[in-house]
């Protein structure tokens, strides 16, 4: 081994010290992990690791293959981010056989076939958290959590604490990159053991095995993860440089051969009755499995069909979750409180006598709006049925009228905003009741500030609900622009932030650092940050993809806001995925001068990057296509193919149309295209273009 920069220290001594410390740590690890019997205190362990790390910082060459790189090394400060090479989707839900039939019908319609002629796999839906394990040339490269589906966290060290997890895989035709996806979970037995231990140590209990599994996998100290005994099942292939099998079920067999855990009873069938039977069987077996499942999953087995079907938003058209019915309990409503949100909507929330529903303690349930309370006649003091289904927020389904007190009165929805006292109004075409005071209602201001800082928007670390409220109440920030002036304001103010309780020097400087990071925003992030009603992350991305730069977005929106008949407005409303409701809401936003002023002010402090087009360009990118006549592929599939390649699909032919794809019996659109001299192609030519 070659060591540079030895300086004063003698090389032999350093190497010797490194070796001795390594041996010590290995011994400690063995006792801790394998024998479950630590021989030193945590503090002593940490000190030894620190000592070793100190040497390695000075002589980085020594850190190669060091024990500090293995499980049980010093916990990372935070997880590394991993960009998924292929998005991790979620599943749409079905709750009865009708929904399952609809799923099959939708798939048939999309594929333009009269009857399902395909097989599906039927598997349990494991209630844990998903992971993705990437193998590079057969060697495990990293394991990541799902995160937001696009970016997850690197939890390799933690996953490796599951001893049986394969670190190498092989196949004669193994792709360079090969990703295996599955679910990490905790068994009931491990969960109970863990909570018992936590109870003894007076630590907070985990609400259910899924939370415990998530808390354990997303644990910075992998020594703790190791103690939690996590389990996993794999359920699908993820990214692969090239395909090795034609069927999903063949991948499952391959995974099993490679030593992965695959649930032992996965059925392949083309019969709907088998879906129902599997569902019924699993409902009965559920409580004896020893781990939580929250339904079953049905997937079309043929991978070519899966690719053709693609996905709508974040859910594939080729798979569906058939969920078990929600779990329910009866409890008492202590009070009904009204919350005022970022858009001024008054949301009633029932405060409940805490009740355990399927392992989760539930103390509050949203009542959504006034209509909901009236429809169900929910009153303070009532006993109610509460259900919880998977991730869904607890819902009150009905009132137990026999238990109602004879003196009880219907709930009176307030006529004024409970925060600022302003009047409230019923927004047209919506069930929401809103506070009129959009400018100075404190609840709306604070909620918007919190929203702006949140992870999915400007992502300002260290500015959560509590901190935002503190800064607002103490006059540090009153608008989003103030966030970017905070450090200046702090310099000038008499009582500096670092002098307030809970705001040390370090946390203030960390905060300013996160604010500085937010000074450069992606276009979709910026659009999302405006808090335009009905414009969430997905629509923001769509708008960014459509307009590409901030200037063209702002120019187009301002023109559209001025003239409802303008070209810009027509373009906006015709953008696939936008539609009238969203377009109106955007226009309304840009008609308000105050919003334009805030944007201009904000832009003095932040920079908005142009949208980066990631889809590879094809001959159809940016082209406008019109489909007409009957095609052998379904319209939705034709549209999906075109849009995947960056084309815009329009329903009418104009001078701006690049291609008209004409099937049999095409009528007036074809005639129009001929008159305008638009290029006309048939279905096969379109498919050829799409295939490049």
Which stretches of the chain bind ligand IVH, using CB under 6 A? 89-91, 123, 125-126, 130, 146, 183, 235-236, 297, 316, 319, 321
Q: How many C-beta neighbours within 10 Å does residue 149 have?
A: 13
Q: Which residue is nearest to ligand IVH (CB)?
A: 130
Task: Name the residue nearer to ligand IVH (CB basis): 389 or 602.
Answer: 389
In angstroms, the CA 166 to CA 636 distance is 40
Find where tokens 């079907």 sit: 309
DSSP string over 604-669: TT-EEEPPPP-SPP-TTTT-EEEEESB-SS-HHHHHHHHHHTT-EEESS--TT--EEEE-BT--HH
**How far is the C-alpha of 264 from the C-alpha of 255, rounded, in Å?**
12
Q: Closest approach of Cβ 390 to ligand IVH, in Å?
A: 9
DSSP assigned state of 28:
H
Closest approach, Cβ 192 to ligand IVH, in A, equals 22
Please state the φ and ψ torsions of residue 469, each to the nearest 5 degrees: -65, -40
Which CB, 217 or 625, lies closer to ligand IVH?
217
- For ligand IVH, the closer of residues 155 and 236 by Cβ is 236
Residue 147 CB, nearest approach to ligand IVH (Å): 11
Identity of the residue, 389 or 463, whose beta carbon is nearer to ligand IVH in the bound complex: 389
Judge whether 262 and 234 are in contact, CB under 8 Å.
yes
* E strand segments, 341-432: 346-357, 360-366, 383-388, 395-399, 424-426
From the CB of 577, what's the least distance to ligand IVH, in Å? 20
* Distance in Å, CB of 129 to ligand IVH, minimum: 7
Do the beta carbons of residue 176 and residue 244 sit within 8 Å? no
What's the gap between Cα 76 and its chain centre?
Answer: 23
- Residue 130 or 161: which CB sits closer to ligand IVH? 130
Distance of CA 66 to the CA centre of its chain: 35
Euclidean distance between CA atoms 603 and 404, whole angstroms: 56
Token pair listed for 5: 């920069």
DSSP line for 192-236 = HHHHHHHHHTTPPPPSSHHHHHHHHHT-S-HHHHHHT--EEEEEE
49 versus 298: smaller Cβ distance to ligand IVH: 298
**Does residue 125 have an active-site annotation?**
yes
Rounded CA-CA distance 388/383 in Å is: 16
Q: How far, rounded to the nearest angstrom, does the alpha carbon of residue 479 sit from its chain's CA centroid? A: 28
* Residue 347 and residue 319 in contact, taking contact as beta carbons nearer than 8 Å: no
Question: Which C-beta is closer to ligand IVH: that of 68 or that of 132?
Answer: 132
Other C-beta atoms closer than 10 Å to the C-beta of 631 total: 20
Tokens of 236: 């699908």
Least Å distance, CB 181 to ligand IVH, is 7
- The distance of closest approach from Cβ of residue 91 to ligand IVH in the complex, given in angstroms and rounded to an integer, is 4
Site of tokens 């190669």: 64
The separation between the first and the last C-alpha atoms of the chain, rounded to the nearest angstrom, is: 52
- Residues 449 and 381: their CA atoms lie apart, in Å, by 35
Q: Please, what is the minimum distance in Å from the beta carbon of residue 255 to ligand IVH?
A: 12
Minimum distance from residue 380 beta carbon to ligand IVH (Å): 36
Active-site residue identified among 19, 30, 85, 125: 125
Are 67 and 29 in contact, with CB atoms under 8 Å apart? yes
DSSP letter assigned to residue 677: T
Residue 398, classed as helix, strand or coil, is strand
Contacts of 365 (CB under 8 A, 6+ apart): 349, 350, 352, 386, 393, 394, 395, 396
Give the H/E segment covering residue 520: strand 520-522
Contact at 8 Å (CB) between 300 and 107?
A: yes
**Shortest Cβ 180–ligand IVH spacing (Å):** 12
Q: Which is nearer to ligand IVH, 131 or 411 (CB)?
A: 131
Q: Which is nearer to ligand IVH, 91 or 144 (CB)?
A: 91
Query: Quick one: 235 or 472, whose CB is closer to ligand IVH?
Result: 235
> Nearer Cβ to ligand IVH, position 301 or 382?
301
Closest separation between CB of residue 637 and ligand IVH, Å?
A: 18
Closest of 283, 270, 404 to residue 332, by C-alpha:
404
> What are the catalytic residues?
125
């Amino acid at each position: 081994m070659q060591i540079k920069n030895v300086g004063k220290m003698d090389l032999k001594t350093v190497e010797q010290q490194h070796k001795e410390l390594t041996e010590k740590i290995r011994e400690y690890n063995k006792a801790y992990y394998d024998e479950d019997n630590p021989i030193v205190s945590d503090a002593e362990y940490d000190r030894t690791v620190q000592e070793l790390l100190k040497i390695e910082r000075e002589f980085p060459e020594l850190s190669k293959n060091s024990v500090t790189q293995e499980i049980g090394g010093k916990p990372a400060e935070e997880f590394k981010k991993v960009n998924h090479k292929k998005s991790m989707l979620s599943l749409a839900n079905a709750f009865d056989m009708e929904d399952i039939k609809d799923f099959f019908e939708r798939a048939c319609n999309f594929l333009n076939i009269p009857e399902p002629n395909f097989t599906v796999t039927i598997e349990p839906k494991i209630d844990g958290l998903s992971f993705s394990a990437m193998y590079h040339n057969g060697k495990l490269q990293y394991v990541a959590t799902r995160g937001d589906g696009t970016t997850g966290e690197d939890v390799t060290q933690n996953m490796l604490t599951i001893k049986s997890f394969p670190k190498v895989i092989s196949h004669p035709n193994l792709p360079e990159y090969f990703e295996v996806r599955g679910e990490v979970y905790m068994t009931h037995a491990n969960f109970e053991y863990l909570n018992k231990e936590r109870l003894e140590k007076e630590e907070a209990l985990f609400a259910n095995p899924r939370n415990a599994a998530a808390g354990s996998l997303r644990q910075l100290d992998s020594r703790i993860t190791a103690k939690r005994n996590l389990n996993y099942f794999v359920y699908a292939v993820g990214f692969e440089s090239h395909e090795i099998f034609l069927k999903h079920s063949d991948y499952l067999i391959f995974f099993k051969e490679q030593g992965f855990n695959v649930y032992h009873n996965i059925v392949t069938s083309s019969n709907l009755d088998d879906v129902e039977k599997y569902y019924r069987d699993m409902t009965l077996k559920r409580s004896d499995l020893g781990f939580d499942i929250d339904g079953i999953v049905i997937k079309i087995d043929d991978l070519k069909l899966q690719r053709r079907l693609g996905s709508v938003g974040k859910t594939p058209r080729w798979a569906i979750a058939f969920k078990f019915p929600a779990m329910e309990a009866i409890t008492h409503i202590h009070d009904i409180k009204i919350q005022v949100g970022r858009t001024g909507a008054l949301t009633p929330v029932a405060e409940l006598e805490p009740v355990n529903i399927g392992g989760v303690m539930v103390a509050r349930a949203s009542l959504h709006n006034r209509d909901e309370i009236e429809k169900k006649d929910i009153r303070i003091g009532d006993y109610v049925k509460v259900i919880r289904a998977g991730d869904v927020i607890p819902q009150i389904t009905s009132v137990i009228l026999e238990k109602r007190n004879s003196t009880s009165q219907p709930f009176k929805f307030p006529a004024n905003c409970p925060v600022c006292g302003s009047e409230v109004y019923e927004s047209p075409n919506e069930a929401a009741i809103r506070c009129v005071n959009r400018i100075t209602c404190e609840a709306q201001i604070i909620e918007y500030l919190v929203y702006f800082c949140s992870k999915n928007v400007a992502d300002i670390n260290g500015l959560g609900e509590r901190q935002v409220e503190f800064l607002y109440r103490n006059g540090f920030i009153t608008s989003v622009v103030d966030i970017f002036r905070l450090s200046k304001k702090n310099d000038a103010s008499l009582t500096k932030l670092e002098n307030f309780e809970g705001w040390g020097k370090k946390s203030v400087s960390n905060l300013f650092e996160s604010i500085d990071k937010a000074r450069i925003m992606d276009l979709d992030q910026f659009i999302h940050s405006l808090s335009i009603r009905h414009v969430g992350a997905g629509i923001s991305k769509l708008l960014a993809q459509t307009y590409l730069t901030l200037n063209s977005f702002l120019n187009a929106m301002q023109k559209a806001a001025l003239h409802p008949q303008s070209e810009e407005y027509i373009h906006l409303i015709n953008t696939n995925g936008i539609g009238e409701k969203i377009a109106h809401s955007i226009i309304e936003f840009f008609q308000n001068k105050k919003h334009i002023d805030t944007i201009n002010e904000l832009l003095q402090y932040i920079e908005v990057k142009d949208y980066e087009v990631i889809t590879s360009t094809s001959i159809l990118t940016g082209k406008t296509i019109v489909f007409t006549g009957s095609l052998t592929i379904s319209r939705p599939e034709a549209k999906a193919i075109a849009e995947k390649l960056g084309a815009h699909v329009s329903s009418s032919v104009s001078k701006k149309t690049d291609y008209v794809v004409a099937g049999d019996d095409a009528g007036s659109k074809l005639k129009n295209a001929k008159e305008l001299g638009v290029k006309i192609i048939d279905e096969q030519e379109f498919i050829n273009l799409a295939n490049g």
